Structure 1
Amino acid sequence: MPLSKEDTVDLFFPSPEEVTQTAGLPAIAAVTGFYKDSPGALTARLTTLEYQFDILHMLSTRVTQVESRLESLEVLSSLILDVKLRLDALDVSPTPRNFARRADGARTIKGLTSSNRQWGRVLSYFRLKSSTKAVPPSLVLDETLSSYCWEFVGN
């Protein structure tokens, strides 16, 4: 819950008796004589309190930003671990022809059915043993297929 200016005034304006009984507050103790004497000093103190309130508000905003960034970093760290596990499962090297097979992948994916070049990249499609329909690799990576067998053919 954010602070309001009324909360700040209540926080920084104790009674003169409380100020004289409290140790370690020389700045507030020096101002206590101005409660009765000088309205100008009270205005200056209110200006100082408004400045302190603005600083507290900025700090509160920064803390909120840091908390949201920490939450997004937590989400990213879990995603990075997931991507790393998937890349480890693929175990693809940059050689022109490479096979990365899992033990159960050879039973599920029949093989490379087609590939085409688009924007300088080779797009490969796979088909299931039980189906004649081609399966794009994005479905494999999105866990639509749980086991897979990659075959990359050279340029």
Structure 2
Amino acid sequence: MSRTKTIALAAVLALAGCVAHPGSGTHPATSARASLVDPDAVLPPQVLLREDTVTALTHNRSQSRLAYVGVWAVDADHCAMMDQTSFEGFAAITPDSLRQPGETCSFEPGAPGEGSVRLEASCTRNRKISNRPILVEMLNSQSMVLSNDADRPGTRMIRCHLQR
């Protein structure tokens, strides 16, 4: 194979995530996990956000050690729509409440410092109240899996933030 073809093939494989750059110490599986963290996951300005969204954003997680508290969405584009329009794929979580499309839940705060939390919640949807567990598994500080039903797989979400 010619040197040009070899370089072109290496570039294609690197772009596809199949190989790491020499000396980078990046493994493809690590890159896949890191891709959940999106620096473009920016919310609308704070003055346009609902009260519980602001509470979730301004909560001091380092003091409470409740990693699940925050504003979450399935991708950066969904972060930009928060509290501006109706859509699926978000969660505003305070220490003792969760708001998702068409539903609000309340619960006792989870155990501080835990990466996986099971919250026994009382949820209201269409004026009907139901009790059920909500499962939160933190993948890292910027991504999690949220499950509202033990029989179905959870939803991967990234943490949304305000523009700096």
With the length of structure 1 as denominator, give the TM-score of the two structures: 0.31
From the two aligned structures, give the one with the greater helix fraction.
Answer: 1
With the length of structure 2 as denominator, give the TM-score of the two structures: 0.30
Q: Which has the higher contact order (CA 8 A, sep 6+)?
A: 2
Between structure 1 and structure 2, the one with the greater Rg is 1
